[in-house]
Amino acid sequence: MDIALLALGLIALAAGTGLCGRFVSILPLPLLQIALGAALGLTNVPGLQVNLEPEVFLLLFVPPLLFADGWRLPKREAFHLRGQILLHAFLLVLVNVLLLGYFLHWLRPDIPLWAAFALGSVLSPTDAVAVSAIASRIKVPRTLLHIVQGEALLNDASGLVALKFSLLASIGAFSMGGAAFNVLLVSAAGAAIGVLLATGYGRLRTWLSEADGSTTIPLVLYLVLLPFGAYFVAEAVHVSGILAAAAAGITMSYVDPKHDDNAALRLQAGNFFSLFAYVLNGIIFLLLGLQLPHVIRDGIQTAAASGHTALHLLMLVVTMTGLILLIRLAWGYGSARIARLSRAVMSGDEPVAPMPEGRILLAHTVAGIRGAVTLAAAISLPLQIAAGKTFPARDELILVAAGVIVLTLLIASVCLPLLLRDLPADDEIAVEEERAGAAVKASRAAIEALANDAGLEQDGPGNGSSVVQVISDEYKQRIDAEAHGADSEIDPSHDHHLNKQARLVGLRAEREELHRLHASGEINDETWQTLMKPLDLAEEALR
């Protein structure tokens, strides 16, 4: 009963803080939720004493959120930025583990090097959930957002694998060659499981849609279970469940059947995942706040037993956070310089892109927020590394990790709006031209489909014009409106006096053309989703 009441209470608080966040704009929503959770944690109410099980936490919260982020990630842009994303997700994690580990061991020689590497592994992954929470409030340049989101989707796996090998080093079972091979194996196998399961779901959806178009709710339920299933299967065979969930989400954009007329499924699944992600985001930050009082108390007690003060721990949190930001700043500057030099060598005398503006580099630096995976990984540090041998300074390391999460979130919440204020906007004209061009092509495909479908009724509803001609004229009006920048939406209120079959033929042709444009890379995921939703809404209104 206590768990049920706690779950319902957290959902209510997530909704309540979301409402408050609209009126209290000074404090970003994640920080508001952490502060509320910490205040509740200080009350010592028995029902609020939550002991997080890392495995349960990772299973319940991380897979669906990474799945949704992977699904929404613009694949075309991510593919173009694949070099930077992969370097951030793997090589930067290794740099963080080594530098943070050696630095902590230098500051605290009483902490073994392998334990310092364990904390470096915990602090290496950035958090897609926290990045999305901050980015939803401000205008972030698209390239920066795509790099940060893509990095956050992939570096969880490399960070957790690094943690595993740091713990193996505590018992002398570590080898560099074996570690490198296992990182590749765990990552590739986990991603493959996600791709296979998502592809299997796409095949099942196609088969059921062709056999019976009324199977919407069961298909939505299977879709909800897909990220959990991908994570569980991958973890069961000891590969990356996190990458499996992310890969399943990324694959969903490619398994959407071209000839699937089940608009209700897309609408219901999209609405459910938006609601689901909203609730889970809120609960994650509330749980982090609930843990803070206990983490701080245990960390201070452990530090006192080893002769260190609370001020020492605070300085450790600030110092580690500063080093994380410094590493990220140097990495961003260095990678931009290398990219510019490589373009200069390849292009000869042609002009090359200038270095990113200083504020963009700083924004990239502070956008490396730590979050849910860091919290779960820190709590998962074992109490004992061998029989009778306790994990050194475990509570202190957990406190440092929690402090870094809060501090990076606070710095990003305060600094990102300031850094990105008054920056030149992205090329919105190009984005709008891509959307308008795709809408025109889809309308032309609908006109062609209407003209070629011999089964449509040619008699009009008493107005002297054929149904096909009336609907084709409306599509032509849409094309003209797109060309002149006017409102291009067809009013669905006229559908009642027109032939429904003709409308559905046009909608199907539009959808197939949008699928073709998306598959060929002519439009990105954002444009595709923007244009698909009105088609699905119109189809549902007809049905």
Write the DSSP assignment of 181-240 as a string of letters: HHHHHHHHHHHHHHHHHHHHHHHHHHHHHHH-TT-HHHHHHHHHHHHHHHHHHHHHTTS-
Of 129, 239, 257, give the one whose Cα is nearest residue 194.
Answer: 239
Level-2 CATH architecture, domain 2-420: Up-down Bundle (1.20)
β-sheet bridge partners, residue 390? 384
Q: Which residue type sits at 205?
A: R
CA–CA separation, 322 and 101 (whole Å): 14
> Cα separation of 100 and 125, whole Å?
13
Is residue 227 within 8 Å of 249, Cβ to Cβ? yes
Q: Would you list the domain boundaries of the chain?
A: 2-420, 428-542
Torsion of CA 201, 204, 205, 206, to 10 degrees: 130
Tens of pLDDT, residue by residue, the chain (543 residues): 567 777 788 888 888 887 776 666 666 777 888 888 888 888 876 666 667 677 777 788 888 878 887 887 777 877 888 888 888 888 899 899 999 999 999 999 988 888 899 999 999 988 866 776 676 667 777 788 888 888 888 887 778 778 877 877 766 655 555 556 676 788 888 889 999 999 998 888 777 766 665 567 777 888 889 999 999 999 899 888 888 988 898 888 777 655 455 677 777 777 787 788 788 888 888 888 888 888 888 888 888 888 888 898 999 999 999 999 999 999 988 887 776 776 666 555 554 455 456 888 888 899 888 887 888 888 888 877 766 678 888 889 999 999 999 999 889 888 888 888 776 656 567 777 788 888 888 888 888 887 776 566 555 554 445 777 777 777 777 777 776 665 555 554 454 445 777 777 788 888 888 888 877 878 877 787 788 888 777 777 776
Phi-psi region of 260 (alpha: psi -120 to 50; beta: other; left: phi over 0): beta
If you count DSSP H runs as helices and E runs as strands, how many of each does the chain have, helices first?
A: 21, 2
